Structure 1
Amino acid sequence: MAVVALTMARMKLAVLRHAFHGRRAHTAGTGAALGVLSALGTVYLAFVDPDLLAAGYAVWLLGWLLGPLFMGGGDETLRPEYFSLLGLPPRRLAAGLLAAAFVGVAPLVSLGALLGLLVAGVRLGVANALVAVPAMVLQLAVFVLLSKVSVAVVGLALRTRLGAIVSGLLNGAVLAALGQIWIFFWAFGQTGVPAAVWYLPSGWGLLAVRGRWWALAALAVLVLLLLAVWAALLTRRVGAARASARGRRPITAGTATGAVVAKELRTWSRDLVRNHQFTFALSYGLCFAASPLILGWDGMLPYAGPIFIVMAAAMAANLYGTDGTALWLTLMTPGASDVRGRQLAWLSVHAPVAIVLTVALTALTGGPWPLILALLPALLGGAAGLVPLISAYALVPGTDPHRRAGNPLRTSEDDGGLTGLAYLMLALVILTGAPAALAAVWYGWAGVATGALTGALCCWGFGLLAERRLRAHGPELLHVMRTGRKPHTTMKFRFDQLSKTQKTIASWCLGFGAIPLVPQGILAAVFVANDMLRHSWFLATYMPPGLRYPVAAAFILLGLAMYGAGVWIVKPRSPGSGPSRD
């Protein structure tokens, strides 16, 4: 078993040594830098308060559990299917893959965060410091194994419709709670950190360091149990048989566009990954808007529908890539308006839910009707236009649906590309609702007409651009999805031609522009408008009355400027105006 583990660890190291280059290396470097900052903050908690350190490790545990679920199934540099013909016993295969899982940036950063255990031990005594060393290793093993088990369980759940729906609801709720973590910090500030965080698996290492020696044994037992569970799940994954689809009524349509709509509606009802994404977006919108109820404030409930729309659009940002090489069907049927059909299908699936949710919760809270009714059509139209447009212009090669059996969460090999596409979609859809929101705030009900107009224009105009893109570059897009490589003879990678400085600036602008734009700008303005002052990290709520709206507006302009700068840096140039290499 030791030989297998060492061999797989060396294989993983060799792959990573040759894999991190270009954009992937830059993305990994940015993630590592943010991880190091988080780890340093966690270690600092060891000097401040043990309760806060226990809560910090609970957040790290949530990150290990949920991060891979939103990043395409986590790190699969070495997949179990690669070793299916070797005849390795399940536990030996699991042990080898576990050893390989410790090789990488994320485990190294997490180990740095777990240095807080050593700091806590040194402050208590020599014996406690000695216990901290095995506690760090076992705690990291628990993090990694719980991550692997959660991905495997969700992967199996996605093989059934009920499992896809339930996992989507749970994942959306947990991510929404993390997005509204300031509310829970406020609650902790009022009542203290709950004692339960000490008895979560993330707190057992700290308990052992503080003299509860049984916790160290509990960690070791938990590692063995999780290893056995993962081995069993790996057996299910490698040997799983693909279930045949149930018989359905034949698709009938009177027009080519109607056929596209019918095909898309059938896909939305049958594709378990899309079921998961839909329920995830719905759960996220509801839970994110309902979280402030903990503070006794229901002012965010009306925004559950708009949040659902924005998140659903982000989930569908790679619509054509998710379908894989099925694009050849569209290219061979030139009479069908594929884009318009997909837009109608997307609206048919999401608009009724968004309308019912928005109207019901707005009626429950009593408003604000003009703002909500202005945002609803603006965001629906903007999302319906941007989903095919972004997918056609920034397509990330995806895995064909019939090849997802090993890990249904993994719809693409480029997890970083999918994440960046989702963040870009979040920002752009929010921007499509900005004119209607401003008109509603300044002119009341006139904002509703503005929202309807901008939504219709975005849906029609962006859809027209997507259609032209498919007609002009359809064969190149199909080539990208088949090979994963863009043909340099017909398409130019602007990002790859940038200097390191330009890449860094563009990545930071596009990656973090949402922070000043949304929380510090838009949400802070909403809080100020509702007299919700002195809230967590929303700077505008701490300002004197005359500076609250200007500060929020300045953050909005900063966010827009960051996105504008990032887009300007990476946008294609004419052949004669390309950048010089540094």
Structure 2
Amino acid sequence: MVGVFASLKWRLVRTRLATGNRAATVAGLLVLFVLAIGVAGLLVWSRSAEGVPLPLVATVFTLQLVAWVLTPLVAFGVDETVDPSRFALLPLRLPTLQRGLLATALIGYLPVANAVLLLGAVLAIAQPWWVLPIAVVCGVVQLLTCVVLSRAAATSMSSLMSSRRGRDLGMLVGFLIFALYMGLTLLLNTGNENAIGTGTQRLADVLTWGPPGNLAVLPALIGEGDWGRAALALVIGVAPLPLAWWWWRRALRKSLTTIGSTTASSAPAGSSTDSAVGGSTAGTMRVVAGRDRLLLWRDPMRRMPWLLLILLTFLYPFIVARGPEGVFWVAFGAILVGTQAGNQYGMDGSGLWLHLMTITDRARARGEVLGHVIVAIIPGVVVIAASLVLQGIVRDAWHLLLPAAGVSLAAMLGGCAASSSLSARIPYAVPQSRKSVFASSVAGQKGVSARATFAVLGLSILLAVPSGVAAFLAVQVADWWGWVSVLLALVVGGVSLVWAVRATADRFLVRGPEILAVVAAGDRA
């Protein structure tokens, strides 16, 4: 039976590779394995540095375990084999089901990439070389602990993640992880290198006493003949595996024998003064904008990009530049604001048929596109303005705010225009289960979503070039070029946006059924 589970997972992996964009998938896999091989090579190379490999591998083991445990919370629903409810009606004993699910967890691209990384770690901690078999066993135990603990966490949270409260929790954890990463990056970019190096070394030494850290130092302890410390390391390092297996079994039994409540399909509270789509462009725009504004806060999948966008807009300029010119990096956040107007038809899934029934003329179709764009522009302007003011205060770069505002405005309007236009030209389905706030497209359409994203970024930069040239002249020639930069942003961005709204509306009226057929795939994910 375990072989059946393994063959099903292998077939699933092969099907995803065959049905999706092969070029994009292969490129992504190559990047993944190059990174894994690079980290593994770094670990092997650290073997020659005295006192470095053991704390380094202990840190890598700890980060690996934390990543496996937190992934089900922040990305639940990406792998459908995680949900145990899919096996509730099968005549399988619990131990058989558990072993089968473990086999499926070890098959895939990420487990193989983790195995490559662990191979480098094993070679790094095998000191002296005669303890290499022990290091291999430690690597296997580390991989099994990561997988089993991840499955236990995913199974325990399967009912929670089907509710809006669970998705909000996942969004919060994901946002905090990203915020922590940005904070550490900013600290490393601006802090004292000696103090950072000392703190990192102390943290690594502390991590060697955790379960993953004890697995990392166990071969060296045995090689040195420190049997007392080695016995303690063995207990601490191996104990999480049986405990995680027991937790997983209890979570599986509970998940397969109980029915959890969910609020996933409950309608959002609140009322609206509009009872029907208006017959004019302005009326439709008002209705669509009001709906998007409500869902922006209630839907974690819509809310998460905005939280990350705000964090990046405020912190990223401090990471990439230290001088006054860093104020221009706010334009990067402006481009991200523009992407929030993208894939306007994919977010509704099969519910798009309601739009096809009510949006039957150009006025309403243009009002719908404008409604989506307005909800991106209004909060985007506030975020960009606040970030520019913060940059001006911290960097004392008030003389650069006007040209920076022109570039940022051009990037935002250009991004909104590009996103709107590509919504009808390159639509793709979004998982309607809403179990993962990071699953932006369904399996088989990852290449399409990536192509749309890169197209938006490229067009945003292209449309911001005129304002960028004027901003450069404002810095190098005369300050009044800053006003030219803002004027060019309004003209080029405004004209592009008007054209995009008209083109998108017309294309939707012509290709509406085809777009519906594409985005309806999100209902099955």
Question: Does residue 215 of structure 2 align to residue 195 of structure 1?
Answer: no
Change over 3 Å in CA distance of 1:481–1:165 after alignment to 2: closer
Change over 3 Å in CA distance of 1:246–1:263 after alignment to 2: closer
* Partner in structure 2 of residue 435 of structure 1: 466
Question: Does residue 387 of structure 2 align to residue 357 of structure 1?
Answer: yes
- Equivalent residues, number: 475
Question: Does residue 360 of structure 2 align to residue 334 of structure 1?
Answer: yes
Q: Pairwise mapping of residues 105-124 of structure 1 onto structure 2 (< 5 A)?
A: 105-124=109-128
Is the contact made by 1:139 and 1:205 (CA closer than 8 Å) also made in structure 2?
A: yes
SS at match of 2:79: coil
1:27 pairs, out of 21, 24, 39, with 24
Task: Using the TM superposition, give the Cα deviation of residue 298 of structure 1 relative to its aligned residue in structure 2, in angstroms.
Answer: 6.8
SS at match of 1:159: helix
* Partner in structure 1 of residue 424 of structure 2: 392
SS at match of 2:88: helix
Q: Pairwise mapping of residues 50-61 of structure 1 onto structure 2 (< 5 A)?
A: 50=53, 51-54=55-58
Q: Pairwise mapping of residues 129-528 of structure 1 onto structure 2 (< 5 A)?
A: 129-145=132-148, 155=161, 159=165, 163=169, 166-174=172-180, 176=182, 183=189, 187=193, 191=197, 193-197=200-204, 199=207, 203-211=213-221, 213=230, 214-227=232-245, 239-243=259-263, 244-245=266-267, 247-252=269-274, 255-291=283-319, 297=322, 302=327, 305-314=330-339, 317-332=342-357, 333-335=359-361, 336=364, 337-367=367-397, 368-400=400-432, 403-404=433-434, 407=436, 409-410=438-439, 412-414=441-443, 416-417=446-447, 418-444=449-475, 445=482, 446-483=484-521
Q: Distance in 2 between matches of 1:62 and 1:432?
A: 42
Is the contact made by 1:121 and 1:209 (CA closer than 8 Å) also made in structure 2?
A: yes
Task: Using the TM superposition, give the Cα deviation of residue 256 of structure 1 relative to its aligned residue in structure 2, in angstroms.
Answer: 2.2
2:441 counterpart letter in structure 1: S
Task: Using the TM superposition, give the Cα deviation of residue 78 of structure 1 relative to its aligned residue in structure 2, in angstroms.
Answer: 6.0
Cα distance per residue 1:130-177 (max 9 Å; x no partner)? 221121112223444565577776946853686366235314325546
Cα distance per residue 1:457-500 (max 9 Å; x no partner)? 33222222222221221111112223589xxxxxxxxxxxxxxx
Task: Using the TM superposition, give the Cα deviation of residue 339 of structure 1 relative to its aligned residue in structure 2, in angstroms.
Answer: 0.9
1:385 counterpart letter in structure 2: A
Task: Using the TM superposition, give the Cα deviation of residue 68 of structure 1 relative to its aligned residue in structure 2, in angstroms.
Answer: 7.7
SS at match of 1:170: helix
Task: Using the TM superposition, give the Cα deviation of residue 114 of structure 1 relative to its aligned residue in structure 2, in angstroms.
Answer: 0.9
SS at match of 1:114: helix
SS at match of 1:242: coil
2:118 counterpart letter in structure 1: L
Change over 3 Å in CA distance of 1:185–1:395 after alignment to 2: farther
Q: Which moved more, 1:9-18 or 1:221-230?
A: 221-230
**Structure ID, larger Rg:** 2
Change over 3 Å in CA distance of 1:416–1:62 after alignment to 2: farther
Change over 3 Å in CA distance of 1:371–1:30 after alignment to 2: same
Q: Distance in 2 between matches of 1:66 and 1:454?
A: 44
Task: Using the TM superposition, give the Cα deviation of residue 448 of structure 1 relative to its aligned residue in structure 2, in angstroms.
Answer: 2.4
2:402 counterpart letter in structure 1: P
Q: Distance in 1 between matches of 2:184 and 2:162?
A: 25
Tell which has more relative contact order, 1 or 2 (C-alpha 8 A, sep 6+): 2
Q: Distance in 2 between matches of 1:89 and 1:371?
A: 67
Q: Distance in 1 between matches of 2:150 and 2:462?
A: 35
Cα distance per residue 1:199-238 (max 9 Å; x no partner)? 1665443222332634444343333444555667776699
Change over 3 Å in CA distance of 1:410–1:85 after alignment to 2: farther
Task: Using the TM superposition, give the Cα deviation of residue 66 of structure 1 relative to its aligned residue in structure 2, in angstroms.
Answer: 7.5
* Partner in structure 1 of residue 226 of structure 2: none
Percent identity over the alignment? 22
Change over 3 Å in CA distance of 1:320–1:221 after alignment to 2: farther
Change over 3 Å in CA distance of 1:430–1:84 after alignment to 2: farther
Q: Distance in 2 between matches of 1:246 and 1:353?
A: 26
Is the contact made by 2:342 and 2:416 (CA closer than 8 Å) also made in structure 1?
A: no
Q: Which moved more, 1:372-381 or 1:159-168?
A: 159-168
Is the contact made by 1:321 and 1:481 (CA closer than 8 Å) also made in structure 2?
A: yes
Unaligned runs of 5+ in 1: 486-582
Change over 3 Å in CA distance of 1:422–1:232 after alignment to 2: farther
Q: Distance in 2 between matches of 1:43 and 1:258?
A: 55
Is the contact made by 2:317 and 2:330 (CA closer than 8 Å) also made in structure 1?
A: no
TM-score (norm. length: structure 1): 0.69
Task: Using the TM superposition, give the Cα deviation of residue 378 of structure 1 relative to its aligned residue in structure 2, in angstroms.
Answer: 1.0
* Partner in structure 2 of residue 8 of structure 1: 5
- How big is the alpha-carbon RMSD for the aligned residues of Structure 1 and Structure 2? 3.9
Change over 3 Å in CA distance of 1:371–1:140 after alignment to 2: farther
Is the contact made by 1:69 and 1:409 (CA closer than 8 Å) also made in structure 2?
A: no
Task: Using the TM superposition, give the Cα deviation of residue 247 of structure 1 relative to its aligned residue in structure 2, in angstroms.
Answer: 3.0
Is the contact made by 1:388 and 1:463 (CA closer than 8 Å) also made in structure 2?
A: yes
Change over 3 Å in CA distance of 1:118–1:292 after alignment to 2: same
Q: Distance in 1 between matches of 2:268 and 2:512?
A: 32
2:373 counterpart letter in structure 1: Q
Q: Distance in 1 between matches of 2:319 and 2:153?
A: 25
* Partner in structure 2 of residue 99 of structure 1: 103
Is the contact made by 2:163 and 2:262 (CA closer than 8 Å) also made in structure 1?
A: no
Change over 3 Å in CA distance of 1:264–1:43 after alignment to 2: closer
TM-score (norm. length: structure 2): 0.76
Q: Distance in 2 between matches of 1:304 and 1:263?
A: 32
Task: Using the TM superposition, give the Cα deviation of residue 184 of structure 1 relative to its aligned residue in structure 2, in angstroms.
Answer: 9.0
Q: Distance in 2 between matches of 1:151 and 1:384?
A: 37
1:352 counterpart letter in structure 2: V
SS at match of 1:20: helix
Change over 3 Å in CA distance of 1:248–1:239 after alignment to 2: same
Is the contact made by 1:142 and 1:222 (CA closer than 8 Å) also made in structure 2?
A: yes
Q: Distance in 2 between matches of 1:303 and 1:168?
A: 28
Q: Distance in 2 between matches of 1:70 and 1:436?
A: 38
Q: Distance in 2 between matches of 1:232 and 1:306?
A: 50
Change over 3 Å in CA distance of 1:44–1:24 after alignment to 2: same
Task: Using the TM superposition, give the Cα deviation of residue 381 of structure 1 relative to its aligned residue in structure 2, in angstroms.
Answer: 0.7
Task: Using the TM superposition, give the Cα deviation of residue 305 of structure 1 relative to its aligned residue in structure 2, in angstroms.
Answer: 4.6
Is the contact made by 2:69 and 2:150 (CA closer than 8 Å) also made in structure 1?
A: yes
Q: Distance in 1 between matches of 2:182 and 2:255?
A: 31
1:135 counterpart letter in structure 2: C
1:388 counterpart letter in structure 2: S
Q: Distance in 2 between matches of 1:433 and 1:43?
A: 41
